A and B are shown apart, each in its own frame.
Chain A
Amino acid sequence: MTALLKDLTRHPSGRIGLITFAVFLIAAVLGKTGFTPYDPLIQDRIARLQGPSAAHWFGTDLFGRDVFSRLMDGIGQSFIISFFSVGIASLLGAVLGLTAAWFAGLWDGAVMRFMDVLLAFPAILLALLIITIFGPGTWTSVLAIAIVYTPIFTRVVRGPALSLRRRDFVDAARTFGSSRRYIMTRHLALNLVAPLTVQITLALAWALVTEAGLSFLGLGTQPPNASLGLMLSDARNLMEMAPWLLWMPAVALMLAVLSFNLLGDALRDILDPKTRRRLA
C-alpha cells in the first residue's frame, strides 16, 4: 500500500491526480463534518448574488448562501454517493464475475445474460428507471449508480478470472488438491486486485458525473441540500448575471473527475507488468 503510494507520487499524472484528490477529499470531509466557512443552508437576503470577495471566496447564490461552503458540502455529498455506489458495484461485480468464471456453465450463462440485459440500457436511462421506482434521494442515487456499474465490474472481473483460471499456477494448485476456496481467494482474487483497483478509480470518475447529472435533472440530491448537479442547474438561468455560480461547480466537478481519471491512468501504468517495465 505504501509502495503503491510511493509509485503514484513518482508517476507524473499520478502525482497530480493524488494531490487533486487529496484536496477534494479534505474539502469533502470538512464539508460533511460542518467545518465550512458559512453554514451552507443559511440564507442571507442582503448578501444575494455577490461576486467572489474576501468574505465570500466563491461569491454567493440567489439566496445569499456562500458558494464555497455549498461547494464543500456538495463535494462531500458527491463523494459519499460515489464511494458507496462504486463500493457496492465493485463488491457485487467481483463476486458475480469470480463465481461466473469459476463455476462456468449455467450460472455463468445466467449471470452474464442478466448483465447483458442491464448493459442494453444507456447508463443514465437505467438510473432514471431505478430512481422513479424508489423516489429520488441520496440512497436511491447510490443504488441506481451501483446497479448501473455492477455489470461493468462483473465483466472486468470475469475476463481476467477466466484467463487466470487457465494459468499454470491454478493447475498446480489442483494437482496439490487445494480447496476451491483457497484457489478462488489466493490465486484468483489476489491477482484481480490490480485490474479491479484501476476500474474502481475510473468508475469513481463516472459515478461523480452520473450523480451530478441526476441531481441536475432534479432526480438526485434534493434542495435545499447542496450538490454539484443542483448548483449547476441553479446557475442555468443566472449565468450571465452571476457567472461564478456556473464556473465554480463546473470547474470543481471537472477537477474532481480529472483527479480520478489521472489516478486511474497512473494505476494502470503502475499495476500493469507490461508498462511497469517501461517505467523502470
Chain B
Amino acid sequence: MSLLSVRNLKVGFGPRPEENQVVHGVSFDLDPGETLAIVGETGSGKSVTSMAVNRLVDYGGGRITGGSISYTRSDGASLDLASAAESELEQIRGREIGMIFQEPMTSLNPVMTIGAQIEEIFRLQQGLTRAEAREAACKALERVRIPDAARRLGYAPHQLSGGMLQRVMIAIALASNPRILIADEPTTALDVTIQAQIMGLLSQMKRETGTGMIFITHDIGLVAGIADRIMVMQDGKVVEQGPLDKILDNPQHPYTRHLLSAVPHFSDGKSVRSDKASADRVLKVEDLSVRFPVRTGLFRKHTGNIHAVERVSFELRAGETLGIVGESGSGKSTTARAILDLVKPTSGVTQVDRTRIGGTEKPTQMVFQNPNASLNPRLTVQSILAEPITAVGRRIDEEAITRMELLLSRVGLPADSLTRYPHEFSGGQRQRVCIARALMLKPSVLVLDEAVSALDVSVQAKVLDLLIDLQREFGLAYLFVTHDMAVVERIAHRIAVVYAGEIVEIGDARELLANPRHRYTRQLIEAVPSLERRRAEYSIDSRAMPSLVRPIGFTPEVEAWLGAGEDHFYRQEA
C-alpha cells in the first residue's frame, strides 16, 4: 500500500475557489522511501499541489475543492488529509510530514535563535524538556553536517549563510523523522556548489532515514540525481508521470520533450556553439581592479579594502560571447559594472573600439538581471526606448521611431507595444524590451548581467536563441555574466571563470568545460546537475570562499598563468 495516494486533487483560490482553480485534478502515489519529483514552471501548480498535501495551502488563501489525499499512518490506518480537521493536521505536520522551502533566508524567524527554532519542534512533537530538546537540537545540527553545532545554536538566522540556513531547515524538517519530506525548490535560491551540498545532504538523509520525499523543482536536470519517479506539470495538470529513466529517455508528452531538449542542460561542453567570431577586437580590459573601502569604528575610519575585482584582463571580438562565470560574491557583476562605469575601477584600462558600426556615442550597453527593476514602471515603452537617444542629445524623430519599431519586431514584441507600460508585459517580454533598449544606439558591446536568470526555463531558452540571432545579425560582442553553467554553455564562445575576484581560468568554451584545469572550475562543473549524471553522488565539501577584505596597501600576489591549449589558460595553484 502506498504511503500517500492523491486522487483527482483540485485546488482553487480566493472567495470563489471553484471558479479560480489552479490545480485541476492531479493524481499521484508516493511509496515509503520513494522520491517523487514534481517538475514544472511558474504557474504550473506544482507548489500548490505540494502544499495541499500538508494543507499549508489553506493559509495561503487556497482551498481544496475536490479529490482526496489519503495518507497511510504508521499504524496502517488511512486518513484523508483533504478533509482532515485542523487539529488532526497539527498532529501530522512536522511529525509525519516535514517541509523545506525555497528561501532559507526568510523561512526562519529573524528574532529567534536557530537553537530555539529547532528545540521548539522537539518539545512540541516529542514532548522533550528544555534541556533534552537542546541536546537533541545540537544532534540535529550535527546530523546535517553543520560544524561547531553547539555554538551555532545561539546564532540568529541572519548570521548564517543561505546554505547553512537551508541545512537548519532540513534539520527542523527531519527532527521528528517524518515519513514524508516535502522539498519545495530547496536549492533555487542557492549557488551551484551550495546546491550540490544540499542535494548531497538530502540524498544522504533519505538513505539514512528512509523518508519518502516529494521534491518540487523547475529544473529537470537537478532531479536526475535524486528522483525515483518524475511527474511533469503544466497549467495545473499532470502531463506525464513515470519512473525517472522512462521520463528522461523516452518522454511521451511534447511539453516533457520540450523541457528536456529546448531548455539548457549542462553537458560538459558538448552543446557549445559551433559558429565562429570575427577577428576584430572590440573590447580590451587590462588589469581591471575594483576595491571598496571598509570603514569601521566610531569615526568610520578606513581600515581596509574589499578586493572585489583583482587584476582582471580579457579581450572580446565582434560577434563573440565571453561568458563570465562565478558564484555570488565572486566579483563577476562588479566586473561588468566597472566596464560600464557604474562602479569606479580602482585601476586598469578598458578600451572600446569606437570605429566599428558607425562609431556610436555609447558603444557599450547593458542588460540587467531583473527586467522588472530595470524598467521604470511609470514610463511607456516608447519613452523607455527613447531614453538612450535623448541621453546623447538627439531628438526623437521619424528615424528614431522607425528604429524603435524595427527593434521591437526584431526582439519579437507586438507592433503596438510602444504605447504600453512595462506591467502589461510578461517577464520574458520585459527582458526583450530591455534588449531592444540596449540596442537603440547600435552598440558594439552588450554586457548581459545574469540577463536570463530571472526567467522561467522555457522563456530562458527563447531569449537565449534571440540573443544568438541578434549577435549574428548585428555582429555584437557579448559579455555574458552568469552563475548558470548550462546557460553559459549554450551561448559562450569563450568562458572566464571568476573566483574571489580573480579570473582563475579562461579559454575556449568547449575546451574549458570538457577539460577544466583549475581546482575551482572542476568543483564548479562537478556541482552542476545534469541529465546524464543520474543518481549522482554529490560531495559535501563545505569550504567557503576566502574573505576578500584586505588591509590597506595590500597587494595580492597573482599566481602565474599556465597554458593548457591554444586558447585555454589557468592560474597556477599554490
Q: Which residues of B contact A134 (CB under 8 A)?
A: none
Number of interface residues of A (CB under 8 A): 18
A57 CB-CB contact with B under 8 Å: no
A187 CB-CB contact with B under 8 Å: yes
A172 CB-CB contact with B under 8 Å: yes
Is the CB–CB distance between B374 and A168 below 8 Å?
Answer: yes
Q: Which residues of A contact B369 (CB under 8 A)?
A: 168
Q: Which residues of A contact B376 (CB under 8 A)?
A: 169, 186-187, 190-191
A173 CB-CB contact with B under 8 Å: yes
Q: Which residues of A contact B366 (CB under 8 A)?
A: 171-172, 175
Is the CB–CB distance between B387 and A171 below 8 Å?
Answer: no
Nearest-Cβ distance from residue B208 to partner chain A, whole angstroms: 42
Nearest-Cβ distance from residue A275 to partner chain B, whole angstroms: 14
Q: Which residues of B contact A171 (CB under 8 A)?
A: 337, 342, 366, 368, 374
B390 CB-CB contact with A under 8 Å: yes
Is the CB–CB distance between A175 and B362 below 8 Å?
Answer: yes
Q: How far is the CA of A179 from the CA of B391 in the complex (A)?
A: 7
Q: How far is the CA of A186 from the CA of B380 in the complex (A)?
A: 11
Is the CB–CB distance between B391 and A177 below 8 Å?
Answer: yes
Q: How far is the CA of A277 from the CA of B236 in the complex (A)?
A: 21
A174 CB-CB contact with B under 8 Å: yes
Is the CB–CB distance between A190 and B388 below 8 Å?
Answer: no
Query: Of all chain A residues, which has the CB nearest B373?
Result: A168
Which of A169, A174, A193: most chain B Cβ within 10 A?
A169
Q: How far is the CA of A191 from the CA of B437 in the complex (A)?
A: 20
Q: Is chain A's interface secondary structure helix, strand, loop, or mixed overall?
A: helix
Q: Which residues of B contact A173 (CB under 8 A)?
A: 387, 391
A182 CB-CB contact with B under 8 Å: yes
Contact with B along A181-208 (1 / 0, CB 8 A): 0100011001101000000000000000
Q: How far is the CA of A196 from the CA of B337 in the complex (A)?
A: 32
Query: Of all chain A residues, which has the CB nearest B389?
Result: A176
A186-B376, A190-B376, A190-B379 given; A178·B370 CB < 8 A: no
Which residues of chain A from 45 to 66 have a CB within 8 Å of any chain B CB? none
B392 CB-CB contact with A under 8 Å: yes
Is the CB–CB distance between B368 and A172 below 8 Å?
Answer: yes
Q: How far is the CA of A169 from the CA of B438 in the complex (A)?
A: 12
A113 CB-CB contact with B under 8 Å: no
A168-B373, A168-B374 given; A175·B387 CB < 8 A: no
Which residues of chain B from 366 to 412 have a CB within 8 Å of any chain A CB? 366, 368-370, 373-379, 383, 387-388, 390-392
A236 CB-CB contact with B under 8 Å: no
Query: Of all chain B residues, which has the CB nearest A179?
Result: B391
Is the CB–CB distance between A191 and B368 below 8 Å?
Answer: no
Nearest-Cβ distance from residue A170 to partner chain B, whole angstroms: 9
Is the CB–CB distance between B373 and A176 below 8 Å?
Answer: no
Q: Which residues of A contact B368 (CB under 8 A)?
A: 168, 171-172
Q: Which residues of B contact A186 (CB under 8 A)?
A: 376, 379, 383, 387
Query: Of all chain B residues, which has the CB nearest A276?
Result: B423
State which of B340, B341, B362, B375 has its C-beta within 8 Å of the C-beta of A169: B375
Q: Which residues of B contact A6 (CB under 8 A)?
A: none
A10 CB-CB contact with B under 8 Å: no
Q: How far is the CA of A190 from the CA of B342 in the complex (A)?
A: 23
B521 CB-CB contact with A under 8 Å: no
Is the CB–CB distance between A167 and B379 below 8 Å?
Answer: no
B365 CB-CB contact with A under 8 Å: yes
Q: How far is the CA of A178 from the CA of B375 in the complex (A)?
A: 14
Which of B337, B369, B387: most chain A Cβ within 10 A?
B387
Query: Of all chain A residues, which has the CB nearest B379?
Result: A186
Contact with A along B341-368 (1 / 0, CB 8 A): 1100000000000000000011011101
Nearest-Cβ distance from residue A206 to partner chain B, whole angstroms: 28
Is the CB–CB distance between A168 and B370 below 8 Å?
Answer: yes
Q: Which residues of B contact A178 (CB under 8 A)?
A: 387, 390-391
Q: Which residues of A contact B383 (CB under 8 A)?
A: 186
Nearest-Cβ distance from residue B442 to partner chain A, whole angstroms: 13
Nearest-Cβ distance from residue B79 to partner chain A, whole angstroms: 33
Q: How far is the CA of A178 from the CA of B373 in the complex (A)?
A: 17
Q: How far is the CA of A176 from the CA of B434 in the complex (A)?
A: 12
Q: Which residues of A contact B337 (CB under 8 A)?
A: 171
Query: Of all chain A residues, which has the CB nearest B365?
Result: A175
Which of B365, B373, B376, B379: most chain A Cβ within 10 A?
B376
State which of A167, A172, A174, A177 has its C-beta within 8 Å of the C-beta of B437: A172
Contact with B along A143-179 (1 / 0, CB 8 A): 0000000000000000000000001110111111111
Q: How far is the CA of A168 from the CA of B341 in the complex (A)?
A: 14
Q: How far is the CA of A122 from the CA of B267 in the complex (A)?
A: 67
Q: How far is the CA of A211 from the CA of B361 in the complex (A)?
A: 56
Which of B364, B391, B441: most chain A Cβ within 10 A?
B391
Q: How far is the CA of A177 from the CA of B390 in the complex (A)?
A: 9
Is the CB–CB distance between A172 and B374 below 8 Å?
Answer: yes
Q: Which residues of B contact A172 (CB under 8 A)?
A: 366, 368, 374, 434, 437
Is the CB–CB distance between B373 and A191 below 8 Å?
Answer: no
A167-B373, A186-B376, A190-B376 given; A176·B342 CB < 8 A: no
Is the CB–CB distance between B342 and A174 below 8 Å?
Answer: yes
Q: How far is the CA of A172 from the CA of B366 in the complex (A)?
A: 7
Is the CB–CB distance between B373 and A175 below 8 Å?
Answer: no
Which of A173, A176, A190, A193: most chain B Cβ within 10 A?
A176
Q: Which residues of A contact B364 (CB under 8 A)?
A: 175
Residue ranges of A at the interface with B (Cβ–Cβ < 8 Å): 167-169, 171-179, 182, 186-187, 190-191, 193
A–B pairs, 6, beta carbons within 8 Å:
A169-B374, A173-B387, A174-B341, A176-B441, A182-B390, A191-B376
The 10 closest A-B pairs by CB, nearest first: A168-B374, A176-B391, A178-B391, A168-B373, A176-B388, A168-B368, A190-B378, A169-B376, A177-B391, A175-B340
- Given A176-B391, A177-B391, 9 more A-B residue pairs with CB atoms under 8 Å apart are A168-B374, A169-B373, A169-B375, A172-B374, A175-B364, A178-B391, A182-B387, A182-B391, A187-B376
